[in-house]
Amino acid sequence: MVFTLRRGWKQLPDHVAKNTHTFKTSVSVLIAARNEEGNIAKTIECILKQHYPSELMELIIINDHSTDRTAEIIASYSDRGVKLIELNEHEKLNSYKKKAISEGIASAKGELMVATDADCVMGPNWLRTIVSLYEEKNYKLISSPVVYHQEKSYFEKLQTLEFLYLIGLGAASIGLRRPSTCNGANLAYRRDVFYELGGFNGIDDLASGDDELFLHKVAQKYPLGIGFCKSEEAIVYTEAKENLKEFIRQRKRWASKSTKYKNKNIVLLGIAIWIFNLAVLLNALLGVFFPPMLLGFGIILLAKIGIELLFLMPITKFASRSALLINLPLLSVMHLFYIVYIGIAGNTGKYYWKGRKVR
């Protein structure tokens, strides 16, 4: 499977936006923000500095019941064209983010919706790179890369490497014309397609899934209408989680979607990966009682590390993070335990997200 994914990554063409390109697409950049007073200003500044025709771009930020200065900071940019929408939901929802994005799209004027998060930064050519691919290929949905940066600890460096694997997996599946995953921090799609497919209807019972579950809706109707913007200029940067507690909460949220995919082949693949990791751990455990089994465990582990290395080499090179590969052996061992645990925890019970307990 990993060898096939590596081929999918290589099949994706590198994209470069031509300097002579004349843009014609109106774009609405959407951000759902909740308690992001420490980050939102940096994100707004990055978007306002984009090398994209100002008359074709609007920035809409939906304040999701923030209890800090988030709304105040957003409002201070009103004279620069930033539009603030206050989410005023009196009844409890399970998916506030999907509601926020839907409200943003309802008031958007653009042809192309480009969603990112309130704690992200990007280079000045981010938007023009994505839109140039859209105008060149006429995709219905475009997934683009997200990379962790500014790591403050070894734990965060391990997260960066693991996250690159996830981003590479999603990109490779698109390269294989079998889209499986994407990240809502860097996702573009046509406004008319959003409404044609009923928006988030049918996938609004989960707090998460504004990215992957919607990707699957688009893929079902337009299997050849999805692209990945393989360009360093298109990367959105964000930060890893500072501690294990926040990391587990994030991954439980991501894993909560895994059994909800309409494409049951993806669900079965996820289950197979979980069983594989469990089997490797059981092999090691049984090796305590039957020492010859430890040899099998060692062979499997070395093969796992080797294949993951082959997959990650071009992806870390693309993100200019090849130095992180030295951490792969340790991460590969830790990943065995992580996959088994999060596969169970993410599909049982509720979890906390942005100060709310959701499912």
Read off the tokens for 242.
């500072």
User: Tens digits of per-residue pLDDT, 27-56?
Assistant: 999 999 999 999 999 999 999 999 999 999
Read off the tokens for 333.
């061992």
Secondary structure (3-state) at 33: strand
Q: Which amino acid is at 201?
A: N
Whole-number pLDDT of residue 202: 85
Element housing 148 (H / E): strand 146-148
Encode 217-254: b = buried (16+ Cβ within 10 Å), e = exposed: bbbeebeebbbbbbbbbbbbbbbbbeeeeebbbbbbbb
Helical H runs in 222-327?
Answer: 244-255, 264-289, 292-318
In this predicted structure, the answer to whether residue 135 has a pLDDT above a threshold of 90 is yes
In this predicted structure, the answer to whether residue 215 has a pLDDT above a threshold of 60 is yes
**Global pTM?**
0.92
Residue 148 pairs with which residues in a beta bridge?
238
Q: Which CATH architecture is the domain 2-242 placed in?
A: Alpha-Beta Complex (3.90)
CATH 3.90.550.10 residue ranges in the chain? Answer: 2-242
Helical H runs in the chain?
Answer: 2-11, 40-48, 70-75, 96-107, 126-137, 154-175, 191-196, 212-221, 244-255, 264-289, 292-318, 328-345
Q: How far apart are CA 106 and CA 243, in angstroms?
A: 37
- Asked whether 81 and 74 are in contact (CB, 8 A), the reply is no
User: Tens digits of per-residue pLDDT, 221-255?
Assistant: 999 999 999 999 999 999 999 999 999 988 888 88
Judging by DSSP bridges, how do beta strands 187-190 and 112-117 pair with one another? antiparallel
The DSSP letter of residue 54 is G
Mean pLDDT of the chain: 92
> What percent of the chain has a predicted confidence (pLDDT) above 90?
79
Whole-number pLDDT of residue 354: 63
Diameter over CA atoms, the chain? 71
CA distance to 38, 291, 294, per residue, from 284 (Å): 45, 9, 6
- Asked whether 22 and 128 are in contact (CB, 8 A), the reply is no
Question: Please, what is the angle between helix 264-289 and helix 328-345, to 10°?
Answer: 110
- Asked whether 234 and 144 are in contact (CB, 8 A), the reply is yes
Judging by DSSP bridges, how do beta strands 351-353 and 356-358 pair with one another? antiparallel
User: Tens digits of per-residue pLDDT, 154-213?
Assistant: 999 999 999 999 999 999 999 999 999 999 999 999 999 999 999 999 887 776 778 999
- Asked whether 196 and 96 are in contact (CB, 8 A), the reply is no
Whole-number pLDDT of residue 209: 76
Element housing 59 (H / E): strand 57-63
